[in-house]
Each structure stands twice: as C-alpha cells, then as structure tokens.
Amino acid sequence: MKRISKTSRDLQAEERKKQILQGAKELFALHGFHGTSVRTINKHVGITDGLLYHYFPGGKQEILETIFHESQGERMASMDRLIASIHPDLPLEEGLYLFILGMVRTMTGDRDFIQIMFRDSATILSDQKDFMSEMIQQRHQALAEILEKRGKAGEIKEMDYRLAAYQIMSVGITTIFKEVSFIKVMQMDLETYLRKMVHFTVGLWRP
C-alpha cells in the first residue's frame, strides 16, 4: 500500500493539537479539570474561541481522555522494556536497581500527568483508568517469575517470590509518592537511595 505523505497543513494541525494537549495538561495539573475552563485553555495556548472544538469536538473531556490514553501507552511500553532489561546474565541486584530506577523515572517523568491522575482520575471515563494499578500488578507477576528463576539458579534463597516481588516494587512505589509530594525524607540523592535500598533488600534474600 502506497504511503500517503502528510501535507504541511496536516503537520500544522498535528502541532496545534499537541499545543492544546500540552497547555490543557499544564492547567489541569495546576487547577484541576473542573477548575479549568475552555476559555482558560484557549487563552493559555493562544488560540481563538472555537478553534479548540475544531480539533477536539468533545471539548475538555475529549482532551482529558486523549491525555490519559497517550500517557498510558507510553508508560506501558516503558515498563515492559524495563522488565525485559533484567537480563539473565546481569547480576540480580544490578538488574533490580536499574528496573526500580527506571520505574521511578517513568512514573515521575511527567509530573503534570501524575497530578491529574491523583486529582481527577474519577473524571476519566475510560474503562482503563485504573491502568496504573493494573500495570504494576502485571509487572509484579513478571518480576516474581524472574525472582523464581534466580532462586532455582541458586542466586537467592527459596521463598515466597510473589511477596519478594511486592517487597522490591514497594521501594519504587513509595519513592514515587515521595518524589511527587512535598515530603522529603531522603537525606541522599535518588540514585544512592535506591541503590542502598535494593542492596539491603537483596541482601536479605541471599542463601
């Protein structure tokens, strides 16, 4: 099938949609979905009244759903790459450190989106709005299987690998909450903290 090249008008429309999405996301994070009007988005982005509905006929709600689905897809793909990166030839402690560090960076890389999810997740209409919990649960199962293989290879002791996977992922989850909140309890940089926590946890698993 012959690929149809995008015209300059197509590219301009895509860029305008990105501008609207980014501007709305900033405002939703700052003021909340219900605290942000379409007029405020228009003014923030610098577009005339009515142009927003040309690109998003469903208005604010469609914008919110689009922001959610795009961010969801990016995070799902990133988490799958992180799980796959725990290579059998890589020492478990190093693999888990890189996984948790990547998980924290993936989830906190777009703080506006995280703020929206904390504040307005109930407003999202998608059946997949609980994707963060589902994403963590699915990757938890994959991590438990990795730990079981390492246990059978003698790298760690025999144990409840599902609980062990929860234990290591809880390090990442609590770190994510700390990173996006105003609570600062770590007296060290992120990488040092995660490396120490993973080293301590894996040390408890040694035969």
pLDDT beyond 70 at 1? no
Please tell me the predicted confidence (pLDDT) of residue 185: 63
The tally of CA atoms less than 13 A away on the side-chain side of residue 149 is 12
CA dist 40 and 33 (Å) reads 11
User: What residues have CB less than 8 Å from 167, skipping those under 6 apart?
Assistant: 201
59-84 helix and 38-45 helix, angle to the nearest 10 degrees: 70
Q: What is the DSSP letter of 122?
A: G
pTM over 0.85: no
Domain boundaries along the sequence of the chain: 60-205
R_g of the chain, CA atoms, integer Å: 21
CA dist 37 and 39 (Å) reads 5
Second-level CATH architecture of 60-205: Orthogonal Bundle (1.10)
On whether the CB atoms of residues 56 and 139 are closer than 8 A, the answer is no
For residue range 156-201, what is the model confidence (pLDDT) as tens digits? Answer: 999 999 999 999 989 988 888 887 776 666 678 889 999 999 999 9
